[in-house]
Amino acid sequence: MTASATLAATPDKIRVAAVQYRLHGISSPDELERQVEYFTASASDYGCDFITFPELFPMQLLSPARLSAAAAMDAIDALTPRFNAFMAGLAQQYRINIVGGSHPVRIAGGAMRNRGHIFLRDGTTHHRDKIHPTPSEREAWGIEGGTARDADVIESDCGPVGLMICYDSEFPELARRLVDQGATVLFVPYCTDDRRGHLRVRYCCAARAVENQCYVVTAGVTGNLPNVFNMDIHHAESAILTPSDFPFARDGIAAEVTPNSEGMAIADLSLADLRKAREGGAVRNLADRRLDLYKVEWLD
């Protein structure tokens, strides 16, 4: 099915939330779970179809004691079953689709991946691995990149959606593949240590929204985790981004959170407006591609 055909089959409007999560030391997983449930319940009360949590926010679970990098990877992997069961339960309890951020997991063979889980309100769980680990992730934690499968859409009750974890948003090939598969909304959980890192993500996500005529939802972490190696300082300005054309927000930002505060941005996303923009907007990036001159080949 083409992107246009998929868009025609989706709802006219969906409501999404982006959580800006403040990292701080905790003494037990219960504390993280209470805060996650608070945000999830709030988004559900507002009638949201999706809520997005940031990249690496579950690393807060490691804050009770300082561990070596290797021990930290073992510990966060061991906590994954509890985390996933809890998040899947929330998605069904509050009838909301949850993009559960991401965190390191150990896959068969022993390699570490930065994995994002998507917990749908129909009871299914999906995952996508970060394709482009940062130098910091590779050097500190031994994170390896995912495969082409991790650049495939997830089918939801709001239509196909895409997940790009932080640095992945800085590579336009991923977003274009997801949109060509029918995605209208791209979720970008991110974790950056300063404003320069944040702006790399923000500027690239704004570009992805324009060039693909889609919505991009970014959710970042703030605060600090003194006990967790490689999770020192953080900067976030989470936002819900739109294309830049007449039906959309004047500055291409449907909603955003105050910099470095904990909070949640909520916006209604009109898929009908996307359809109109793609078919008759001031510019029509998808339709105007010169596929007779260039293409991207994925080695599936």
In a domain, 296, yes or no: no
Token pair belonging to 132: 């482009």
Residue 286 lies in a domain: no
In a domain, 217, yes or no: yes
Asked if residue 230 belongs to a domain, the reply is yes
Integer Cα distance of 86 and 119 in angstroms: 10
> Which ranges in 9-151 belong to alpha helices (H)?
29-45, 69-93, 135-141
In a domain, 269, yes or no: yes
Q: What is the mean pLDDT of residues 229-258?
A: 97
Residue 291 resides in a domain: no
d(CA 265, CA 257): 6
> What does the pLDDT average to over 62-66?
95
Name 180's bridge partners.
none
Domain contains 249: yes
Q: How far apart are CA 91 and CA 100, in angstroms?
A: 10
Domain that holds residue 163: 3-280
Q: Closest Cα to residue 210, out of 246, 180, 250, 244? A: 244
The catalytic residues are 55, 130, 166
In Å, how far are 60, 103, 112, 200, 256 from 74, measured between CA atoms?
Answer: 14, 12, 10, 30, 35
Q: Domain holding 256: CATH number? A: 3.60.110.10
Q: pLDDT per residue over 80-122, tens digit each?
A: 999 999 999 999 999 999 999 999 999 999 999 999 999 999 9
> Predicted confidence band at 283 (pLDDT cuts at 50, 70, 90)?
very high
In a domain, 292, yes or no: no
Non-local (6+) Cβ contacts of 114 within 8 A are 55, 56, 102, 103, 104, 129, 130, 133, 137, 143, 165
Round to whole Å and give the CA distance between 151 and 129. Answer: 9
161-186, pLDDT tens digit by residue? 999 999 999 999 999 999 999 999 99
Supply the mean pLDDT for the chain: 96
Cβ proximity of 116 and 56 under 8 Å: no
Cα-based distances in Å from 61 to 33, 73, 183, 212, 227: 10, 12, 32, 36, 11
As for how many domains the chain has, the answer is: 1
Choose among 143, 256, 133: nearest CA to 202.
256
Global confidence as pTM: 0.96
List pLDDT tens digits, range 183-205: 999 999 999 999 999 999 999 99
Confidence class for position 14, pLDDT limits 50, 70, 90: very high
